Amino acid sequence: MDQFTFLVFFIYGLAFFGMGITMALESGRAPALAQARVLRPLAAFGLIHGTHEWLESYLEQAEIIGTPLPGWLSWIRLALLSLSYIALLIFAYQSLSLASWYPIRNPIFNLILFGSYALIIIGSAILAYRISPPPWPDLLDGLMRYLMAVPAAAYSAISLHNQSWQAKQKNHISLGHYLSWTAYGFGIYAVTHLFVRPLDMFPAHFLNADAFLEFFGFPVQIIRTIAAIIISVTLLRASQFMEEERKRQLFSAQQARLAALE
């Protein structure tokens, strides 16, 4: 790993870690952007995933320069990755409840859609490794990205896009634009997680991080970093918008109270 790639990992982790801090603070202010219970898992995702990216960059650097490391560190990395995606799944599930479009709130529809997708991925893994033993760390990493990161980010993008439309309907145009860009960021983030480490299973045997690097000439982490920056910046701007909105509402309430006293 060269210094540029290390910098990409650092910025990637920093963007999500900063987003986690911002959402943790926002969840304690009774936000109108979303209910606090929705923002807390998003904050947990940012903090845990940012930590995971820093640990992953350290592990890859150590592997390149030949530094011996205990085997349990790679399992700690996988544990952090799974916890971050679980938090993102919770955020996606809860944010769907705020959507006004019925099909994406319908549990039957979502169960059929996700179940079909999961059967394809799990079936492919079983067929690929029915004889030879699988490379467990890489396989688990890929399955977590396929079965957790992709659907969670995709559903987050859909629900945030719907919340953007609702905000614009309420004449909160700026908030709507910020949420739209956040939705685009999560959409990009979902697509990048289709490029996992090379595996013998479908689709990882041709759609993987190495193939991405060979075709585009730069690692997929750069696109993930761009998506993370878009998500973090637009959520910060949305948070600032809601803080200004709360100040306006407080000022209006104070003015009304003074007028009533007079």
Residue 115 has which token pair? 């179940």
pLDDT at 254: 83
Q: Mind listing the pLDDT tens digit for each residue in 113-143?
A: 999 999 999 999 999 999 989 999 999 999 9
Is the pTM higher than 0.85?
yes
Q: Mind listing the pLDDT tens digit for each residue in 213-252?
A: 999 999 999 999 999 999 999 998 988 888 787 788 787 8
Indicate if the pLDDT at residue 31 is higher than 70: no
Residue 72 has which token pair? 């349990």
- Break the chain into its structural domains and give their ranges: 3-261
